[in-house]
Structure formats: C-alpha cells, structure tokens
C-alpha cells in the first residue's frame, strides 16, 4: 500500500471479464468492412438536433486543458522533461520590425498534457485495427492510411452529458469506475444517456499534476454500459487506471471502448470548468462540439471540445 492510500478507501474487487468475441460486445463490421468513423455513426440527424436544442444561450465552455509549450531554444536555462515535452516551439526570427511573427511547433499528440482525439488507427489488437484491417494496411512510415483522425474533419455535433462521479471532490485513488457509477452520475444529473450522445466524465483527477497516487480507471463493466447506452464519443479526466487495476481488464478504455467498440476518445480533457458551469446553471446537458483539424495521416489530433449552453 503506497503513500497515496493514507486515509483512502480500498477499491472494491472488479470481476474479470473474459476477453472473447462471444463474451464482450464488438462493433467491428457493424457499419461495414471499410468504416473509419466507428461509433460516430450513432450521431444521427436526430442526435444532432437533440444537441442543437441544448444550445439556448450560446454560452460556451472549453473542455480542453491549457498546454504550456516548452521552447526548443531553452538551452542551458531549461531542460525538457517528461512533463514539458507535450508541445515544443521555436520562434521563426524574421528580423526586428517584422510585420508578423511565426513559430515551428512540435506536438506529441498522445501526451497527458494535450487534450487530444484518439482515432481508430491509434489502437491495434491482434495485428489489426478497427474494423479488422491489418496494421500493415492501416499505417506505415508515411502515416495512417486507414482510421486516420482527419475522417472527423466534418466535426462532432451532438448532445453532451456531464457525468460527475465525485461532485465537489474527487474519486478515491485506484477507484474502479463501473456502470453503477455512471448510472448514479446520470441520476444525479436528472437525465438519461441516449444513443449518439457524447459523455464527459469527471472524477476530479489531474493526470499530470496528481502526484504519485494510484489513479482511478474505467473497468470493462463501464465500457459495457457505454455500449448499452450507445455512447458515440467519450471525453473526461478518467482514463485507464495507472497502475492497472488489481482485477479486471487492463487498459479497458483504450482496449475495449476504442479498440472493440470504436468509440473515439478525447483523452486528457479538463471537465472542471464544465462542472462549475453545470452546477451554476443547474443543467448537466449541453451541445457538444468538436472541429478536428484536417491534418491527414495521423492517429490523433489536438482538439478543443466545447460545451454550448
């Protein structure tokens, strides 16, 4: 028991989930053998209209982290560390009195300090990516050919639901998030998650500045819940437990939600301002909007998800 367990409740045991085609749901083939959108196919015109109806005032809240770049020209005054290499920049000097300034930016997309979208080409299992494409046919030295993030260039517009797992506080260290937790959060919000909705999950954890305590994580049971409710997009500050949960499927959010159910993930989101706004307004549903950059051949892209009230 590490130092992070002082005064904390031990997590309940999580039942192991057999990882077979028969025992766990899969969306591979559901939308065809060449599909690249995954569960975003659940965002129908009806789901988009439901989301648009939530935008009553036009007030917006960002669900993205603020990422502080590290200068490539830092030299002896600074040294890049694991917590400063999410984004690195170098100014392009064009002389004094220049009419404009510019920079070169290097982004490590799948970094805990960058709010980013995981596309289908990001996760492989058994040598294949969704919906059964060989990794060799999906990606290569020049980039992603199948399941790249630019397929989401038309954007996501649907209804979003905040599921706050620990209102006013945070989940206990190493807490295994289950479907019952998600049900309880939806009940507190006074709403039901419907097919085509995006969910934003708040557990009160900062995965970058949270110290060395064991982090909570999604379980296979929670992923089954997402499948049963037709979740189209997942965002939140709760990801896969670190270190992996004592029992259960390690990496369930990526291995099951992204890999098997093809639910695109918005990793490293910051739902704190959203939770504050929801509490202030007394409503936990909103229009969820993402416009993904149209940069071809990537496994993921930095994004700035917006909640519109």
- Give the residue-averaged pLDDT of 79-97: 73
- pLDDT given at position 96: 78
| CA dist., res. 273 & res. 70, Å (int) | 25
Please tell me whether the overall predicted TM-score, pTM, comes out greater than 0.85 for this model.
Answer: yes
| CA dist., res. 222 & res. 180, Å (int) | 8
Domains along the chain with CATH numbers: 22-65+115-308 (3.50.30), 70-107 (no CATH)
Torsion of CA 304, 306, 37, 109, to 10 degrees: 20
Q: What is the pLDDT of residues 153-178, one digit of tens each?
A: 999 999 999 999 999 999 999 999 99
pLDDT at 209 over 50: yes
pLDDT at 95 over 90: no
155-183 as b/e, with b when 16 or more CB fall inside 10 Å?
A: ebbbbbbbbbbbeeebbbbbbbbbbebbe
pLDDT at 13 over 50: no
DSSP assignment letter at 65: P
- pLDDT given at position 47: 98
Closest to 160 in 3D by CA, of 67, 31, 62, 228: 62
- Give the residue-averaged pLDDT of 120-148: 96
Instruction: Taking each helix axis as running N to C, give the angle between helix 179-189 and helix 220-229, from 0 to 180 degrees, rounded to the nearest 10.
Output: 50
Q: How confident is the model at residue 3 (pLDDT cuts 50, 70, 90)?
A: very low
Average pLDDT, the chain: 89
- Give the residue-averaged pLDDT of 199-222: 92
- Give the residue-averaged pLDDT of 16-41: 82
Residue of higher predicted confidence among 300 and 78:
300
pLDDT at 62 over 90: yes
Listed in sequence order, the residues at least 6 apart from 292 whose beta carbon sits closer than 8 Å to its beta carbon are 117, 149, 150, 152, 153, 155, 156, 301, 303
Q: What is the pLDDT of residues 281-290, one digit of tens each?
A: 999 999 999 9
Q: What is the pLDDT of residues 243-258, one digit of tens each?
A: 998 778 899 999 999 9
Q: How confident is the model at residue 1 (pLDDT cuts 50, 70, 90)?
A: very low
Closest to 185 in 3D by CA, of 216, 222, 230, 232: 222
DSSP sequence for 164-190 = ESSTTS-PPTT-EE-HHHHHHHHHHHT
Closest to 231 in 3D by CA, of 256, 249, 248: 256
């Amino acid at each position: 028991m590490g130092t992070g367990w002082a005064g904390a409740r031990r997590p309940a045991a999580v039942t192991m989930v057999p990882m077979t085609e028969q025992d766990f749901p899969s969306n591979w083939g559901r939308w065809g053998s060449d599909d690249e959108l995954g569960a975003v196919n659940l965002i129908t015109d009806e789901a988009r209209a439901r989301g648009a109806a939530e935008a009553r005032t036009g007030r917006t809240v960002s669900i993205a982290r603020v990422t502080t770049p590290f200068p490539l020209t830092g030299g002896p005054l600074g040294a890049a560390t694991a917590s400063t290499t999410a984004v690195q920049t170098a100014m392009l000097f064009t002389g004094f009195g220049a009419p404009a300034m510019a920079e070169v930016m290097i982004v490590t997309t799948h970094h805990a300090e960058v709010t980013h979208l995981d596309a289908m080409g990001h996760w492989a299992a058994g040598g294949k990516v969704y919906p059964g494409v060989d990794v060799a046919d999906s990606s290569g030295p020049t980039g992603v050919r199948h399941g790249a993030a630019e397929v989401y260039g038309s954007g996501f517009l649907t209804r979003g639901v905040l599921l706050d797992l620990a209102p006013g506080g945070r989940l206990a260290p190493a807490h295994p998030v289950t479907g019952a937790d998600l049900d309880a959060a939806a009940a507190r919000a006074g709403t039901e998650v419907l097919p085509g909705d995006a969910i934003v999950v708040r557990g009160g954890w900062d995965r970058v500045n949270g110290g060395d305590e064991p982090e909570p994580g999604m379980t296979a049971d929670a992923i089954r819940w997402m499948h049963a409710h037709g979740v189209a997009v997942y965002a939140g500050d709760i990801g896969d437990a670190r270190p992996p949960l004592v029992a259960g499927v390690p990496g369930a959010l990526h291995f099951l939600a992204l890999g098997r159910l093809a639910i695109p993930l918005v990793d490293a989101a910051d739902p704190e301002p959203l939770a504050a706004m929801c509490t202030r307004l007394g409503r936990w549903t909103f229009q969820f909007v993402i416009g993904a950059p149209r940069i071809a051949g990537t496994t993921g892209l930095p994004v700035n998800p917006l909640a519109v009230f």
